[in-house]
């Protein structure tokens, strides 16, 4: 295997693992809670900036900072859903009306979060150096932080998948996704489960923000690009499918790496091209139900 192919593959997997983490939270919020959370990328941006502040201000290891930011972001997402989206859901005349209203509310939330970040950190581009040592793999040199991002992303995605498929709460979440009315009749507190789903999606956004801050520059305007990536990955893998988000993220990451290696100017166009083709040919995605 040539150095170029190996480099492209590993960078693709690293980027794809990050995309999978970014998309899993969005998939849970829309696939179960039925909120098209356009502000998802802003939570990722906030997660990245909070990690930056904890590392540069207090010397807290970025990975260990999840112990602080994780519960805070989960609670934030839980409270936002219980106060804002639950109110919209109970007042909506239909499911379609609720999804439309929640989309508009998420747009408002996007600008609120972005302006809070601007007030706190300003618009300057920020970064920090973490695990910048070099690692040789098959004659190709990578920075250690890239490899850590890949490993953490895969561990988080697999753990999250097993949480949803093997735990009692995970089964309740999947029941709410399949048929919320029947799930409520079986004794599941739907409003609480949906709020937990939104909180978990926000928690996954915080994890994505930590990983983003470790390898990329950050500022308050980076959120939208990750929202777009999350939407494309979710459509590719299948709406509401956690396993689809993992595989879809890895696929998109490898495609992105290949295009960036050989024709970087087309990277963004390829993303949107894949999105449009999927909508026309297979809108349910790889693992979505017809």
Is residue 50 predicted with pLDDT exceeding 90? yes
CA-CA distance, 246 to 249, in Å (whole number)? 5
CA-CA distance, 156 to 167, in Å (whole number)? 16
What percentage of the chain exceeds 70 in pLDDT? 95
Q: How confident is the model at residue 29 (pLDDT cuts 50, 70, 90)?
A: confident
CA-CA distance, 183 to 269, in Å (whole number)? 41
Kindly report the three-state secondary structure assignment for every residue of the chain: CCHHHHHHHHHHHHHHHHHHHHHHHHHHHHHCCCCCCCCHHHHHHHHHHHHHHHHHHHCCCCCCCHHHHHHHHHHHHHHHHHHHHHHHHHHCCCHHHHHHHHHHHHHHHHHHHHHHHHHHHCCCCECCCCCCCEEEECCEEEEHHHHHHHHHHHHHHHHHHHHHHHCHHHHHHHHHHHCHHHHHHCCCCHHHHHHHHHHHHHHHHHHHHHHHHHHCCECCCCHHHHHHHHHHHHHHHCCCCHHHHHHHHHHHHHHHHHHHHHCHHHHHHHHHHHHHHHHHHCCCCCCCCC
Residue at token pair 């996704």: 177
Closest C-alpha among 43, 89, 7 to residue 261: 7
Q: Is 213 part of any domain?
A: yes
Q: How confident is the model at residue 289 (pLDDT cuts 50, 70, 90)?
A: low
Say how many domains are in the chain. 1
Q: Is 106 part of any domain?
A: yes
Strand 134-137, strand 140-143: pairing: antiparallel
pLDDT of residue 187: 73
Q: Is 285 part of any domain?
A: no
Q: Among the listed ranges 20-29, 76-85, 126-135, 263-272, which one has the minimum average pLDDT value?
A: 263-272
Domain extent at residue 25: 14-221
Q: How confident is the model at residue 287 (pLDDT cuts 50, 70, 90)?
A: low
How far, CA to CA in Å, does 56 sit from each of 60, 110, 129? 8, 26, 10
Averaged over 185-194, what is the pLDDT? 79
Averaged over 93-102, what is the pLDDT? 83
pLDDT of residue 190: 80
User: Is the CB of residue 146 less than 8 Å from the CB of residue 134?
Assistant: no
Is residue 55 predicted with pLDDT exceeding 80? yes
Q: Is 245 part of any domain?
A: no
Tens-digit pLDDT profile for residues 125-168: 998 888 878 777 766 777 788 888 888 888 888 888 888 888 88
Which of the two residues, 97 and 77, has the higher pLDDT score? 77
Q: Is 236 part of any domain?
A: no
Q: Among the listed ranges 94-103, 158-167, 241-250, 280-289, which one has the minimum average pLDDT value?
A: 280-289
pLDDT of residue 40: 92
Is residue 92 predicted with pLDDT exceeding 90? no
The alpha carbon dihedral of 249, 234, 125, 79 has a sign of negative
Q: Is 91 part of any domain?
A: yes
User: Is the CB of residue 117 less than 8 Å from the CB of residue 46?
Assistant: yes
CA-CA distance, 241 to 32, in Å (whole number)? 10
pLDDT of residue 150: 85
pTM for this predicted structure = 0.89
Closest C-alpha among 115, 127, 120, 128 to residue 221: 115
Q: Is 105 part of any domain?
A: yes
Q: Is 96 part of any domain?
A: yes
The Cα angle at residue 51 between residues 239 and 267, in degrees rounded to 5: 50
């Amino acid at each position: 295997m040539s150095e170029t192919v190996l480099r492209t593959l590993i960078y693709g997997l690293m980027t794809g693992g990050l995309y999978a983490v970014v998309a899993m939270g969005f998939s849970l919020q829309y696939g179960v809670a039925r909120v098209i959370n356009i502000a998802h990328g802003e939570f990722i941006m906030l997660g990245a900036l909070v990690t930056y502040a904890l590392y540069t201000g207090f010397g807290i290891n970025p990975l260990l900072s999840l112990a602080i930011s994780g519960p805070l972001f989960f609670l934030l997402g839980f409270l936002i859903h219980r106060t804002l989206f639950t109110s919209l859901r109970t007042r909506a005349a239909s499911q379609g009306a609720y999804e439309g209203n929640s989309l508009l509310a998420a747009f408002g939330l996007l600008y609120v979060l972005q302006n809070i970040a601007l007030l706190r950190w300003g618009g300057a581009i920020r970064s920090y150096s973490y695990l910048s040592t070099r690692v040789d793999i098959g004659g190709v040199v990578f920075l250690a932080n890239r490899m850590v991002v890949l490993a953490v992303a895969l561990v988080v995605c697999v753990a999250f998948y097993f949480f949803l498929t093997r735990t009692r709460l995970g089964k309740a979440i999947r029941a709410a996704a399949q048929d919320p009315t029947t799930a409520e009749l079986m004794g599941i507190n739907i409003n609480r489960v949906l709020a937990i789903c939104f909180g978990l999606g926000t928690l996954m956004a915080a994890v994505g923000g930590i990983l983003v801050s470790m390898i990329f520059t950050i500022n308050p305007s980076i959120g939208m690009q990750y929202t777009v990536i999350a939407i494309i990955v979710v459509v590719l893998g299948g709406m509401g499918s956690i396993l689809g988000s993992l595989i879809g993220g890895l696929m998109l990451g490898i495609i992105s790496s290949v295009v960036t290696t050989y024709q970087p100017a087309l990277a963004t166009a390829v993303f949107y091209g894949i999105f449009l083709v999927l909508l026309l040919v297979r809108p349910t995605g790889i693992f979505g139900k017809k």
